[in-house]
Amino acid sequence: MISITVLKEATLFKGLNTKQLQLFARHFREEEFDAGEVIYSQGSQAENLFILLEGEVALGIKAKGEIDITAYSVGEKGEAFGLSSLIKPYQNNVTAFCNKKTTVLSIHGEAFRKLMKQDRKAGMEIMERVTEIYYKRLNSVRAMITNLFKLFKVQTGKSKLLETYYEP
C-alpha cells in the first residue's frame, strides 16, 4: 500500500481526510519509466491515472502534418496526468512522453472511478480538482496559441492566418 502521506501531497487529493486517502492508497502502485519512454499515446484507450513522484512528463499533441506540440509539462511532485481515464470517452487526448527518468503512482481508471462512487463526497472533491487542472491547462494552451499568433503576425505582417494560407 502506498503511504497516505504521499497522496496528501498530490494536487488531486487536496481536501480529503485520512480515511478517504486510505481508501485510494491501497489501489495505487509505483512505476518507473526511462527518459524517452512513452507512457501512453494520443488516441489510445485511457486506462490509468498517474501522480508524478519524480521526473518530468511532456503532454504532447500530434497535429495534422505530423507536427508535435508540447501542450503542457508535468514536473511538480504530486501533479496528476492521465485524467482522461476519469472522463468519458476514456480516450487519451495527448501523448505522455518522459523527458527524464520518471517515477509515478498509477491506478487503473475504472477502479478509481468505482472508489469515487463508493465515497461520493471524496469523488466530488477529486472531480473538482480534475476540473481545476483542466482549466489551468486550457489557459496554458490558450496563452501558447495567442503567443503563436502574435509571432505569426510579426513575421508575416498579416493579421489573419487565412489571408496567408488560403488559396481560392
What single DSSP character describes residue 45? Answer: B
Q: Tell me how far CA of residue 22 lies from CA of 29, 109, 150, 151, in angstroms.
A: 14, 17, 48, 49
Contact 52, 147 (CB under 8 A): no
Domains in the chain with CATH codes: 4-159 (2.60.120.10)
Contact 91, 21 (CB under 8 A): no
**pLDDT at residue 166 in the model:** 47
**pLDDT at residue 139 in the model:** 84
Sign of CA dihedral 6, 11, 17, 22: negative
Sign of CA dihedral 116, 38, 60, 166: negative
pLDDT tens string, the chain, 168 residues long: the values are: 788 999 999 999 999 999 999 999 999 999 999 999 999 999 999 999 999 999 999 999 876 655 577 888 999 999 999 999 999 999 999 999 999 999 999 999 999 999 999 999 999 999 999 999 999 988 887 787 777 777 766 666 665 554 544 444
* pTM, to two decimals: 0.84
